[in-house]
Amino acid sequence: MELVFATHNKNKFKEVQLLLPKHITLRSLEDIGCFDEIPETADSIEGNAILKANYVTEHYGYPCFADDTGLMVDALDGAPGVYSARYAGTEKSSEANMDKLLEELKGETHREAKFKTTIALHLEREKVLFNGIVLGEITLEKSGAEGFGYDPIFKPQGYDKTFAELPITVKNEISHRGKAIKQLIAYLKNLK
């Protein structure tokens, strides 16, 4: 089976590729000649995942899945949420996003947060959503060099290290994206 993963994020693509079984050939947007900046104009994580998956299938004709992820911080009433990637501006700078978040939480002791990933699968006439959530907290400072996005400031519940300090195999086992991908894989296996 061949599927396109609708992302331009090479780190995210690599992370997901490691999770998928070998019988699924994963193609990137670049592999299919899609260099478009796919619009993420929905007001929800689910909506953005659906927009991206539909865009690839409608414009390029490939079965596709897409994800959208949001970091929701309790003390900020769920922000940055759907705006996580562009929290500090449209340039989507992870460093600027983390700096802004840490600044807004300065002096805050209530640092609980969660990551949520929704995967939208567009396969022939089937359209299915899968969700993964991981609870944790925002650290006081950046720590670790692995991962991407908010990983250096997010410590998952039950761990004393950030996502950026954990080996990718551990992160994939417990992360929001890992949980959603496992649901996707289980669904695809049932299609055989």
Residue 15: which region, alpha, beta or left (left: phi > 0; alpha: psi -120 to 50)? Answer: alpha
Rounded Cα–Cα distance for residues 111 and 179 (Å):
23
CATH tag for 2-189 (out of 3.90.950.10, 3.40.50.300, 3.40.720.10, 3.30.870.10): 3.90.950.10
Helices 176-189, 10-19: crossing angle, 10 deg rounding: 50
Q: Which of 31, 36, 43, 68 is catalytic?
A: 68
Provide the terminal-to-terminal Cα distance of the chain, rounded to the nearest Å.
10
Round the CA-based radius of gyration of the chain to a whole number and report it: 16
Q: In the chain, which stretches have pLDDT less than 50?
A: none
Among 189, 150, 177, CA closest to 7: 177
Domain ranges of the chain: 2-189
Rounded Cα–Cα distance for residues 79 and 72 (Å):
5
pTM summary value: 0.90
State the pLDDT at residue 192. Answer: 58
Active site residue 99: no
State the pLDDT at residue 6. Answer: 95
